[in-house]
């Protein structure tokens, strides 16, 4: 039975959210993948808020969701299993038979640390006329996503890291292949913090590690500031100094005023380059999430001050 998780921190009315999600489920077969997709390469694009089925809280893997057309009697399933502390997500009948046509499944996870995704095996129908007909879509914070199809192996099978992952598998009604097996593990960040503070007027300062103090090429730090339901979180200032890029696709700082782990664009702010921000709004609920991702360079940093109000 298809189950939808509709718990939503969004300011948008729940009826609007549900209509977006039903639109995705019913019309996903019409979704066009950009013509620039290569069957053995990656394509990154901006997503559209509202097309995701799930809003996980930290550390929770929601039930895999499966959709098939009315002609199918038995419903195939994507599997999510754990062996020796490693999560595996596989296409239907992986290792036994090809995946079915006309199929959609999804899962998601969120953490203050990082999920690390590796492609153990990946063989999905190659592109046809510059379009991926079957594809695995991985969504990231701030509406960004990657669509994958074809054969991924060797250097094409890149490792993915993110604090939030939405994983969607879609097939059309033509060719099928053996499918995919991906592994997902959690990687701890020493700089990620969960701050819980209920005293009105309490303040604090959050900073990223100094250059050379973290044994990582890329520094990831995620912060969650949580207060009681009656209070709000105000960010008094935010200092950012990271590499600048178009739409902040390299280094970036994300702030979500609803405490949503996927950082939807309608409640999140993104910064890169050198910025001193003093006009962030007070949180819409009793939680704020901040995510810092930057190449470890001299001068790269983030600092913010918050107050409970």
pLDDT in tens, 100-149: 999 999 888 899 999 999 999 999 999 988 889 999 999 999 989 989 99
Over residues 174-186, mean pLDDT: 93
pTM: 0.77
Helix, strand, or coil (residue 17):
helix
Could you read off the pLDDT of 209-262 as tens digits, one per residue?
999 888 889 999 999 999 999 999 999 999 999 999 999 999 999 999 999 999
Over residues 169-182, mean pLDDT: 93
Structure confidence at residue 189 (pLDDT): 86
Structure confidence at residue 63 (pLDDT): 55
All structural domains of the chain: 14-187 (2.60.120.290), 193-308 (2.60.120.290)
Could you read off the pLDDT of 33-92 as tens digits, one per residue?
333 333 333 444 444 343 343 444 555 555 565 655 544 435 678 998 889 889 999 999
């Amino acid at each position: 039975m298809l189950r939808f998780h509709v718990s939503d921190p969004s300011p948008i009315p729940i009826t609007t959210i549900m209509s977006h999600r039903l639109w995705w489920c019913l019309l996903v077969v019409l979704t066009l993948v950009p013509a620039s997709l290569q069957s053995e390469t990656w394509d990154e694009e901006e997503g559209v808020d509202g097309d995701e089925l799930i809003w996980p809280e930290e550390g929770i893997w929601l039930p895999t969701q499966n959709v098939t057309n009315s002609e199918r009697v038995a419903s195939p399933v994507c599997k999510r299993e754990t062996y020796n502390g490693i999560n595996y997500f596989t296409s239907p009948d992986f290792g036994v038979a090809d995946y079915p046509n006309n199929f959609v499944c999804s899962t998601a996870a969120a953490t203050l640390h990082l999920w690390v995704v590796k492609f153990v095996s990946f063989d999905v129908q190659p592109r046809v006329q510059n379009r991926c007909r079957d594809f695995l879509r991985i969504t990231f914070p701030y509406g960004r996503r990657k669509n994958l199809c074809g054969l991924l192996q060797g250097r094409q099978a890149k490792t993915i890291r993110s604090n939030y992952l939405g994983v969607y598998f879609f097939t059309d009604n033509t060719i099928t292949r053996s499918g995919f097996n991906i592994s997902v593990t959690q990687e701890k960040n020493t700089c990620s913090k969960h701050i819980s503070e209920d005293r009105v007027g309490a303040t604090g300062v959050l900073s990223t590690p100094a250059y050379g103090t973290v044994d990582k090429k890329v520094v990831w730090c995620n912060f969650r500031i949580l207060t009681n339901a009656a209070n709000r979180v105000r960010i008094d200032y935010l200092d950012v100094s990271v590499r600048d890029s178009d739409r902040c696709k390299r280094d970036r700082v994300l702030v979500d005023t609803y405490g949503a782990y996927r950082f939807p664009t309608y409640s999140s702010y993104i910064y890169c380059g050198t910025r001193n921000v003093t006009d962030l709004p007070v949180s819409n609920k009793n939680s704020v999430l901040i995510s810092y991702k930057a190449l470890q360079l001299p001068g790269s940093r983030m600092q913010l001050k918050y107050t409970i109000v």
